[in-house]
Amino acid sequence: MSLASRNAIVTGSTSGIGLAIARALAKEGANIMINGFGEAEAIETIRTGIETEFGVKCIYSGADMSKGEEIAAMVKEAEDKLGSVDILVNNAGIQFVSPIEDFPLDKWDQIIAINMSSAFHAIRAAVPGMKARKWGRIINTASAHSLVASPFKAAYVTAKHGVAGLNKTVALELATFGVTSNCISPGYVWTPLVEKQIPDTMAARHLTRDQVINDVLLTAQPTKQFVTTDQVAALAVFLCSDAASQITGANISMDGGWTAA
Ligand code: NAD
């Protein structure tokens, strides 16, 4: 499959799942706008690495996914510099773990903005171009937490359930325009996002690091293995293919059986 004529934005692609998706789309020939936070030098290494390794154009936007106007400007910049936005991967996300009665108000607002509202802002800005060209692929990195809950993750679970609802609505609105919208819902993927929540989960549940990994994280996953970023990226690439043109409004689990239970 070739995505040689396609241009993609992948939000939150300086790390983890987003980085793997950006590289996988570039490997298929798509030009990429990467986005996310990090050290300028490290981001530039990622950007130039994608260009030289895959022979595509790769540009970077530092837009903050908690700010609607920056997201709209990011989409416009991609349209101006790449020519179009054919593939939009809403992936940026953060986590915060706390009992609900102590949940910091600023963390709630931040997670709702970055993990949920950013997808709305990006889709809203990218859809007119996709509709006009009668082709588009919207992929939302949701989570098993878009389908089931875990304690101490009030904002994250709320945001991810919201993304799942947004995904279905967008799929219906765009069904006759050659534009699909889908969620990929991974279980636990070993990335900095998971690694960083271990200390807070240790505190919230009074557990050791090994207990959190084996008795909290991998307990949820019947396969007892972490999902890999490359596995998520491979599904994203498939969703961009012609073979996936009738998959829309779906929320596809990749969670080692977690949500089957
Ligand atoms: P990660 O921490 O490795 O990467 C997160 C990315 O988002 C980084 O590039 C970071 O810079 C970016 N980001 C954070 N805040 C941002 C902001 N305000 N503006 C722009 N970019 C911002 O995390 P990850 O595990 O790769 O997570 C990626 C997505 O996958 C998230 O939406 C997450 O909820 C989801 N997810 C992760 C897992 C998992 O187990 N790791 C499971 C299910 C879903």
The residues pairing with 58 across neighbouring beta strands, listed in sequence order, are 32
pTM over 0.75: yes
Letter for the amino acid at 252? I
Token pair 């903050």 in the structure block, residue: 64
* Measured distance CA(17)–CA(113) in Å, rounded: 19
Residues with CB under 6 A from ligand 1: 12-18, 35-38, 64-66, 91-94, 114-115, 141, 143, 186, 188-189, 191-194
* Measured distance CA(92)–CA(252) in Å, rounded: 18
For the chain, give percent helix, strand, coil, nearest 5: 55, 15, 30
Catalytic status, residue 156 = yes
The CATH H-level (homologous superfamily) assignment of domain 7-190+228-260 is NAD(P)-binding Rossmann-like Domain (3.40.50.720)
* pLDDT of res. 196: 87
* Measured distance CA(182)–CA(89) in Å, rounded: 10
* pLDDT of res. 1: 62
Per-residue pLDDT tens listing for the chain (261 residues): 699 989 999 999 999 999 999 999 999 999 999 999 999 999 999 999 999 999 999 999 999 999 999 999 999 999 999 999 999 999 999 999 999 999 999 999 999 999 999 999 999 999 999 999 999 999 999 999 999 999 999 999 999 999 999 999 999 999 999 999 999 999 999 998 888 889 988 998 999 999 999 888 899 899 999 999 999 999 999 999 999 999 999 999 999 999 999
Q: Can you tell me which atom of ligand 1 is nearest the CA of 20?
A: 26
Ligand 1 pocket, mutate which of 33, 39, 64, 91 (most atoms under 8 A from CB): 91
* 90 C-alpha to ligand 1 centroid (Å): 10
* Measured distance CA(6)–CA(136) in Å, rounded: 9
DSSP state string for 47-83: HHHHHHHH-S-EEEE---TT-HHHHHHHHHHHHHHHS
Other beta carbons within 10 angstroms of residue 42's beta carbon come to 11
* Residue of 60, 96, 156, 226 marked catalytic: 156
Name the closest-CA residue to atom 43, ligand 1: 143
- Of the CA atoms within 13 Å of residue 195, those in its CB half-sphere come to 5
Name the closest-CA residue to atom 8, ligand 1: 12
Write out pLDDT tens, residues 145-175. Answer: 999 999 999 999 999 999 999 999 999 999 9
* pLDDT of res. 216: 86
* 36 C-alpha to ligand 1 centroid (Å): 9
* 174 C-alpha to ligand 1 centroid (Å): 26
* pLDDT of res. 6: 98
Q: Can you tell me which atom of ligand 1 is nearest the CA of 66?
A: 18
Domain spans, the chain: 7-190+228-260
Q: Can you tell me which atom of ligand 1 is nearest the CA of 232?
A: 30
* pLDDT of res. 193: 82
* 103 C-alpha to ligand 1 centroid (Å): 20
Write out pLDDT tens, residues 103-151. Answer: 999 999 999 999 999 999 999 999 999 999 999 999 999 999 999 999 9
Q: Can you tell me which atom of ligand 1 is nearest the CA of 193?
A: 2
